[in-house]
Structure 1
């Protein structure tokens, strides 16, 4: 069942995009919603899982969706129930034509995701473990393949499967208190949900090997310096930075964003000549859209474009 919670906005009070960096994040996403209520309506949707929730921002930011991890007792460790919830939520987003950008965040203080639920793992047979890891890998690949951009909002620990989930997102925003790592070799296993493949593609093979072989944990600043994170901001402000980026993306032509993601992702896996042909194909998809004409008209008329996704 879908639950809608609606906060009524005050139409006389709006914040500019540049004002978001000045706001206390806890006034927006913590227990007090007062400042955020004054800018837009917030609709909360509950998924079938109690540990994964889908939030949609309405009004001018209707294309921004947020996947929120909420399993405080286990530090957002991913077990069977949470994995099912993740899959359900991202399949919901995949079917929603209005989705333009997705943020993945945590409501648990100082934790993004602690990785797999090792307590649950202890009760599994080797066959069950393999099946679970395969499902986890498949889910993260599904996230990576979404047509719209995804942003991981990392405050605190993002370890093992938690970091692998962040790696499957397009962008990663870290707070200074973030702790990132793939510690699996310390448990005599390897990262099995994409970590051995996505990490070297971001930071290079040599750095990835050092981090995976040693299981060393790094902070937000180092993550940004090696290219693992796009931004590192003061602790507690990653959500605001991610929202700022999401709002910027949401203002752009949605078809153009989808085609840009397709060209970059698919082009990265082939040779340059093939990639350039792919870029040409993606550009052709944009030529006859209403949004392209709207962009030209808005530029000529010196006004903000109104993109419909057509």
Structure 2
């Protein structure tokens, strides 16, 4: 039984799973939390009843970073052994082959922002503070931040945040594309659920293929990306949902198909 990270579902939002961090006071991402995040992401990936995922740290904070007290005792040899696992744990959300959204309340700093960067969408409260302040500790982001941040907001803006360690407010985060929506703090989780609810009855294999095509294509050249797209597109013709969707369109027009997820 996980101590700090749970995967929850609610009858009010069928098809949506919430990966909930609960390690007071600031959800510091120690090695146990990282391991539990990986386990929760694996479970969310394989459960057929979960079609989309919200990542949430509670009403006050998403996560204020890694556990610095834990890291402070580590040598180069120590960190060399676990750096890959740290990336895997903090970046576990990115491995979920379903739509994911990070609900950001309060602080998302260091590993907390890196966690959110693994989601497909980020919704923040208007009081949120985001940043990668690792340089102020004499290190750099090590949970995927240098790579995912640059891909999301561009290398120049990413370097500015990494070099200075400054906190970015919600308005600036929206302006530079670091978050996708800003709402009142009390509305963050509900807004994330509302976005995720859209996919409760969607064609799951098509969503997974669309996500895989974009993510894999970003890591290669255009010609290779187009080949990836063609392969994934073709593969969907082996699914029941493709048959259901096209037959429904021909008979009744768009948007009326009742998908089975198969």
| TM-score normalized with structure 1 length | 0.79
Q: In the alignment, does 2:202 pair up with 1:252? A: yes
Partner residue of 2:4?
51
Partner residue of 1:295?
245
Compare CA radii of gyration and give the structure with the larger one: 1
Partner residue of 2:151?
201
Partner residue of 2:176?
226
* Per-residue Cα deviation, 1:77-129 (whole angstroms, up to 9, x for no partner): 0112212211221122233233321110012x321101011122223333333
User: Residue 245 of structure 1 aligns to a residue in which SS?
Assistant: helix
Partner residue of 1:117?
67
* Per-residue Cα deviation, 1:221-259 (whole angstroms, up to 9, x for no partner): 211110111111122211111111101122321111011
User: Residue 198 of structure 2 aligns to a residue in which SS?
Assistant: helix
Residue from 249, 267, 276 that aligns with 2:217: 267
Residue from 78, 81, 100 that aligns with 1:131: 81
Does the Cα contact within 8 Å between 2:34 and 2:90 map onto a contact in 1?
no
Kindly state the Cα deviation for residue 215 of structure 1 after the two structures are TM-superposed.
Answer: 0.5
Kindly state the Cα deviation for residue 193 of structure 1 after the two structures are TM-superposed.
Answer: 1.0
Partner residue of 2:187?
237
Kindly state the Cα deviation for residue 72 of structure 1 after the two structures are TM-superposed.
Answer: 1.4
Higher relative contact order (CA 8 A, sep 6+): 2
**Runs of at least 5 residues in structure 1 that lack an aligned partner in the other structure:** 1-47
Q: How many residues align?
A: 260
Does the Cα contact within 8 Å between 2:53 and 2:99 map onto a contact in 1?
yes
Distance in 2 (CA, whole Å) between partners of 1:172 and 1:237 is 13
Distance in 1 (CA, whole Å) between partners of 2:60 and 2:18 is 18
Distance in 1 (CA, whole Å) between partners of 2:176 and 2:118 is 17
Residue from 214, 226, 230 that aligns with 2:164: 214
Does the Cα contact within 8 Å between 1:153 and 1:172 map onto a contact in 2?
yes
Distance in 2 (CA, whole Å) between partners of 1:93 and 1:175 is 25
Q: 1:146 to 1:286 in 2, by over 3 A?
A: same
Q: What value does the CA root-mean-square deviation take over the aligned residues?
A: 1.8
Residue from 9, 12, 16 that aligns with 1:64: 16
**Runs of at least 5 residues in structure 2 that lack an aligned partner in the other structure:** none
| TM-score normalized with structure 2 length | 0.92
